[in-house]
Amino acid sequence: MGRAFEYRKATKLKRWGHMAKTFTKIGKQIAIAVKAGGPEPENNPALRAIIATAKHENMPKDNIERAIKNAMGKDQSEYKPMTYEGYGPHGIAIFVDTLTDNTTRTVGDVRSIFNKFNGNLGTMGSLAFLFDHKSVFTFKKKDDVDMDELILDLIDYGVEDEFDEDEEENSITIYGDPKSFSEIQKHLEENGFEILSAEFTYIPNDLKEVTDEQRETIDKMVERLEEFDDVQTVYTNMKPAE
């Protein structure tokens, strides 16, 4: 398996937190997609992708439909994505992805945690050199699929040669240019692939070793950040525990 898959697999449960929290976060993503492209999944590729992810995370159908309905309300708040980045304890780089309707509140919350753990919140883009920003698609494997041919078809969209296969779930995960998210999704759908999840991620290009004691402190900081409703995902360049 590739570097991206191993990191993603090792950090997935920590990043998403508790199931109820996951549903809240996906609900915000649905709200943004509905506001931008309407409530009909067949006419809104972004919404289709989020619904696929929601189902993969076992979000009940009623919750999905409620989130779509709520997003259509006139009084529904406008969420926008904001990313905060800086260094936590022991020099570990930390990316915090958020969806917020109040940036003043959100940056205050995030900064308070960085300060509490003696970290430093930096400027946007200051840690970009430490992470690769990728779009990630996981889809059901088809018996007749030629992965080399599929990758060749998608190479213009920045899809990597390396892909990951999960035999237990009978699925394939590919990584591509985040700017080509819509094009990759369209190609997979038009060729009959069942998309299980579609998301964006930050993958550290150099993992940093830490002691057990240091890991415990960093984990606590990540957990505190994840407690905020505005926080979607927290990424670090800390090497996952084996």
CATH topology assigned to domain 3-71: Arc Repressor Mutant, subunit A (1.10.10)
Residue-level pLDDT at 76: 56
Q: Where are the alpha helices (DSSP H) in 130-199?
A: 147-154, 181-190
CA–CA dist 78, 71 (Å, integer):
9
CATH class of segment(s) 133-204: alpha beta
Q: Which whole number is the average pLDDT over 116-136?
A: 91
Is the domain covering 80-129+205-236 a CATH 3.40.50.300 domain? no
CA–CA dist 110, 206 (Å, integer):
24
Whether 215 contacts 111, CB under 8 Å: no
What pLDDT digit, counting tens, does each position of 144-182 carry? 889 999 999 999 999 998 898 888 889 999 999 999 999
pTM: 0.81
Confidence tier at 74 by pLDDT (50, 70, 90) = low
Q: Cα angle at 206 between 202 and 209, to 5 degrees?
A: 115
